[in-house]
Amino acid sequence: MAGNKENAQPFLNVSRYIKRKRIGVSEAAVKNTPCVVQRQRCNYYKSACPCSRMPDGAGGFIGGVSANPYELPHMAAIGYGPQDDIVWQCGGSLISENYVLTAAHCLNDGRHPAAWVSLGTVIIQDKIRENVNVSIKGQTHPVLDRIVHPEYKSPEKYNDIALLKIGTALESDALSTLNDKIHPACLQTSSVLPYDITSSGWGRLGPFDDPTPFLQKGFLNIYDSSECNKTFELEIRTTNLLQKGIHDSQVCAGRIEGGVDTCQGDSGGPLQSHGHEGSCLIVVVGVTSFGKICGQKNNLGVYTRVTYYLDWIEEIVWKHRNTCLVDDENYGECLPLSKCTHIHEHVRRGYRPAQCGYDREEPIVCCPSPYQEIWVPPPRMSNQPAKSRAPGEAAKLCKKT
């Protein structure tokens, strides 16, 4: 639908505010800028996170409680089948604006490939979960691409990790995937696992129950791999599923006493914790992979360890994205000015974004998060220069390491 022509502002009205100084990306790069890609993206996403809605870490799948609306804004349900008959059978984590992290064995349900991702809801409905009052329906995104880890070999249990690239949501009133209700989680970058671990999903509440329509969350403990080797001793000795035992690429978690556990239908969902220093963002530590008898004593679960696959994830998800420093603390992304629409009005009022370079005649600017507060200089008084960045100033780019 066409907009109001009187209010419409052509891009050139914004572009003319940026001094046309050609800056090559290599010239703008600063070698000493810290550059762990995931940390940059995590910093970029955190501005969308409202701290007032942090979960309390209680509850779970088997033996747990339902999550509150928007409490886990990265949580995704993965669906299979035609659009008019979607069945939600796996979980996942939104880790960028258009990528969902899940388990490799979730890319196909045996009959259909993973085709849909639901975001922004704690209640899902399908032919298995009928007669449910869905107060917040969320939004459904089509899956554009399925990327399995190259070393995953079913039915083996190793390298059980995959990525789903998602498209624009089907709903006309859908939110973006970077707002206070839906936004990406961070990925664990430290080899030291956090103490406060939770998991979440729409799987079974018991080994013989139907999957639940209500998103569940639960607190789990991390155990040494030797404990999971005890749980799966028979499989390690007699099958080719776990010939190497529990590997460094996996995390052993659960409750040794039983009572709280992930179950069938929770696969692909996150093993997660909260960021340090009161961060609102959730950090994904692992991906739900497999278990034994849900919720039983001495039956722990195995999760794919995210840190083991960071290079693979970053190469796919952020391969063509340049991250830059908006200021001393906040990261942005190098984008054409025409695509960084949320700063256009700020530019007209005097904001001068740093430049990453040029694409033909259009400046490439260091585009801050839509939720980052932008300082705009006050109107200039006579003979007083504006306190703003010099036009054409080069952005500090992060070198990928």
Active site residues: 105, 160, 267
For residues 107 and 130, what is the distance between their CA atoms, to the nearest angstrom?
24
Chain length of the chain: 401
Q: Is the dihedral of CA 317, 319, 320, 323 positive or negative?
A: positive
Q: How far is CA 1 from the centre of its chain?
A: 31
Count of CB atoms within 10 A of residue 149's CB?
A: 19
Paired tokens of 29: 């790069």
Count of CB atoms within 10 A of residue 218's CB?
A: 26
For residues 86 and 82, what is the distance between their CA atoms, to the nearest angstrom?
6
Beta carbons of 78 and 106 less than 8 angstroms apart: yes
For residues 83 and 256, what is the distance between their CA atoms, to the nearest angstrom?
40
Residues forming beta bridges with residue 108, ordered by sequence position:
113
Q: Reduced to 3 DSSP states, what percent helix, strand and coil does the chain have, rounded to the nearest 5?
A: 15, 30, 55
For residues 206 and 400, what is the distance between their CA atoms, to the nearest angstrom?
45
